[in-house]
Each structure stands twice: as C-alpha cells, then as structure tokens.
C-alpha cells in the first residue's frame, strides 16, 4: 500500500478531512508549529516539524527542500499531499516525487493561481469559482488537473464567506482524489511486480 505524507502549515482542517475519509497517513510534516501537528498526534500519526525560520528573500528554498525530501525518503514515503502547506518548494522534491505530489487550490485552475485566488475571483466579478486538485510541480499551481468542482459566487460574498464555502467542497473533493490517486499507485506497483 502506498505510504502517504501530508504537508501542513495551519489549522489542520484538510488533514482532518483526509483522516476522516479513512486514508492511512504515514507522516505529517509542517514548516512551523501549528494546530495541524496536534491533529496528527491526537490521531496517532507520526508528525515532524521541519522548521522554516527564515521568511526573508534570502530563504534557501533548495536547501530546505532537500532537507524535507531527505525526511520523506527516510520514512519510505511514496506520495505527498499538500494540505495548506505554506512554503513553496524547490526542485529536489519534485525530482524525487515526480508526479506523486498532490495539491489543492481554491480556484478553477488555470484561473487565479497563487495565494490570493479567492480575492482575485471576487475582484474579477466572477460568478463561479471552485476548487482544483492537481499534481504539484515546480511551477506554482501549474500541474496537471486531477479533479475540480465549481462553487457559485453570491453577490454578498466576502473573501471569508466564499473561502469557507470552497473549503467545504475541498474537504470532500481532496480526500476522494487522494484515494483514487493512491489506488492508482498501488495498481501500478502490483502490475510492475
């Protein structure tokens, strides 16, 4: 069975939805102290902080990514799911885990990439936005799309209210996509033996 690591940085609500979906998680890694680490420990999941203490422009993204990749490989991780992970990673992780890193994003990619996707959709007066699950690549929010679901934008929506409705969709769509992805990895492994 493919061993999954989940990368987190925040409250852990996406991590909780993955756990509630019955997906076995081998490791949770965060780039900072956060509630998600506590969620992992409360669910008897191995958790580790790979601290990012430098948020300046001089941050060594490649060195950080190599350290994270080393930890994932040491723990025999087969696939990675980003769940609100706040650090953009360098090429080493994408080389070691090519096509095996999933991410979820609060827009209908390719529209509105980056950290302000919900605000960007509101500012553009869109009628619909949504959630996308995609393969993470070194290009931020540019990887192949695995699943998407639409979310209507209401006239009285704020960034907060819209983002919360997107998160509700995300907490269902992402675990479904992860399950299918892990099943596919397992099938490929069996066929390769």
With contact defined as beta carbons under 8 Å apart, do 121 and 111 qualify?
Answer: yes
pLDDT band at residue 59 under the 50/70/90 scheme: confident
**Helix locations, the chain, DSSP H:** 13-20, 35-42, 61-74, 91-96, 117-123, 159-192
Interatomic CA distance for residues 103 and 107, integer angstroms: 12
Cα 3 to Cα 42, 80, 122, 138: the distances in Å are 19, 9, 38, 22
pLDDT of 192 above 70: no
Place of tokens 């190599």: 66
What are 97-123's pLDDT values in tens digits? 999 999 999 999 999 999 899 999 999
pLDDT band at residue 193 under the 50/70/90 scheme: low
Interatomic CA distance for residues 105 and 10, integer angstroms: 15
Tell me the three state secondary structure of residue 3. coil
Catalytic residues: 105
Interatomic CA distance for residues 32 and 78, integer angstroms: 23
Interatomic CA distance for residues 115 and 127, integer angstroms: 20
Q: What is the pLDDT of residue 157?
A: 97
Residues 74-85, mean pLDDT to the nearest whole number? 96
Domains of the chain from N-terminus onward: 4-192 (3.40.50.170)
Residues 43-69, mean pLDDT to the nearest whole number? 90
pLDDT of 191 above 80: no
pLDDT of 57 above 80: no
């Amino acid at each position: 069975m493919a061993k999954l690591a989940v990368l987190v940085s925040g409250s852990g609500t996406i991590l909780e939805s993955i756990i509630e979906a019955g997906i076995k998680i081998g490791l949770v890694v965060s780039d900072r102290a956060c509630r998600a680490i506590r969620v992992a420990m409360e669910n008897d999941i191995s958790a580790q902080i790979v601290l990012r203490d430098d948020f300046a422009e001089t941050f060594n993204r490649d060195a950080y990514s190599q350290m994270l990749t080393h930890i994932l490989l040491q723990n025999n991780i087969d696939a990675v799911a980003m769940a609100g992970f706040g650090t953009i990673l360098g090429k080493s992780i994408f080389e070691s885990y090519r096509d095996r890193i999933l991410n979820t994003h609060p827009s209908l990619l390719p529209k509105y990439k980056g950290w302000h996707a919900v605000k960007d959709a509101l500012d553009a007066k869109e009628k619909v936005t949504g959630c996308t699950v995609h393969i993470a690549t070194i290009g931020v929010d540019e990887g192949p799309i695995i699943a998407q679901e639409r979310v209507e934008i209401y006239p009285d929506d704020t960034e907060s209210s819209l983002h919360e409705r997107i998160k509700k969709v995300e907490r269902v769509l992402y675990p479904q996509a992860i399950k299918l992805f892990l099943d596919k990895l397992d099938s490929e492994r069996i066929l390769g033996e």
